[in-house]
Amino acid sequence: MIPTSFEYLRAKNLKDALKAIGKNTKVIAGGHSLLPLLRFRLAQPDTLVDIGQLQELKGIKQAGGGMKIGAATTYRELLESRELGTLYPLIAEVTEHIGDLQVRNAGTIGGGLAHADPAADMPPVMLVLDATFLLQSKGGKRSVAARKFFKGPFTTAMKPNELLTEIQLPAPPKGAGMAYASFEQAASGYALAGAAALIAIAKGMITRAELAFTGLADTPFLAPAAAKLVGTSGDELISQVAAAAVAGVEANDDIHAGPEYRTHLATVAARRALTQALERAR
């Protein structure tokens, strides 16, 4: 289908963009998720505000032991950052498997997070890393924890007049290992079910354990069951924790996987991610 007609505005700077966005506008960064929405007429904005070239929204920098990533930074740019790959190898590992070369060249981390596809790979990574998202409107700024950002399928805590401008990552805990395991839908590469894990150990005992899922339910979520690993050496409990983490979750049901199969895949992904994170922490 052909999109409905709209005005196109290429923002010259962030201030320009913030002034232009609001009711009946849509922001475009890389366009990889938005263009299909326009073509299917699932989005019918009056104005498209292009933020893809804004230098203010690009870049990766170190900050207080952690890192800050501009929302319009492309996946390719994430992969090219040695500092990011060293401090958060999990981000590089996951990014490498997002879409294909074209998607990674133009798609942005902010666009992917703002789009909030319930099967996207990056949201569970943001949950286990305990990222914070900086949102800006022409009225000011506010920070929202990634853990409070994803509200439902394609729905976030952002207001229509807000832009996601920066992803802030705290310093990873000392002695942390991280991993992601997923079962991909063959055509798109999106996760039928995926799990990200972070485990920190000290003197052989687990001091922190985080586990988050994607693809399983209508929104990515953090599994409280991972806390059961804290204070243990891990190995014997991992299968139990993986099963407990998905128990009672209303699993998605679509042409690619029914709820029972998806729950099984999520359990296996959780087990693999926790096991690998633990090995890496050691």
Ligand X SMILES: Cc1cc2nc3c(=O)[nH]c(=O)nc-3n(C[C@H](O)[C@H](O)[C@H](O)COP(=O)(O)OP(=O)(O)OC[C@H]3O[C@@H](n4cnc5c(N)ncnc54)[C@H](O)[C@@H]3O)c2cc1C
Binding site for ligand X (CB under 6 A): 26-34, 51, 71, 98-99, 103, 107-108, 110-112, 114-115, 120-122, 163-164, 188-190
Tell me whether residue 186 or residue 204 sits nearer to ligand X (CB atom).
Answer: 186
Question: Cβ of residue 199: shortest distance to ligand X, in angstroms?
Answer: 23
Question: Cβ of residue 164: shortest distance to ligand X, in angstroms?
Answer: 4
Question: Cβ of residue 56: shortest distance to ligand X, in angstroms?
Answer: 11
Tell me whether residue 119 or residue 176 sits nearer to ligand X (CB atom).
Answer: 119
- The residue of the chain with the least Cβ separation from ligand X equals 111
How far, in Å, are 74, 98, 122 from residue 107 at the CA level? 5, 9, 12
Tell me whether residue 163 or residue 265 sits nearer to ligand X (CB atom).
Answer: 163
Tell me whether residue 102 or residue 233 sits nearer to ligand X (CB atom).
Answer: 102
The torsion region of residue 3 among left (phi > 0), alpha (psi -120 to 50) and beta comes to: beta
Tell me whether residue 77 or residue 200 sits nearer to ligand X (CB atom).
Answer: 77
Question: Cβ of residue 120: shortest distance to ligand X, in angstroms?
Answer: 4
Question: Cβ of residue 153: shortest distance to ligand X, in angstroms?
Answer: 13
Question: Cβ of residue 116: shortest distance to ligand X, in angstroms?
Answer: 8
Tell me whether residue 44 or residue 188 sits nearer to ligand X (CB atom).
Answer: 188
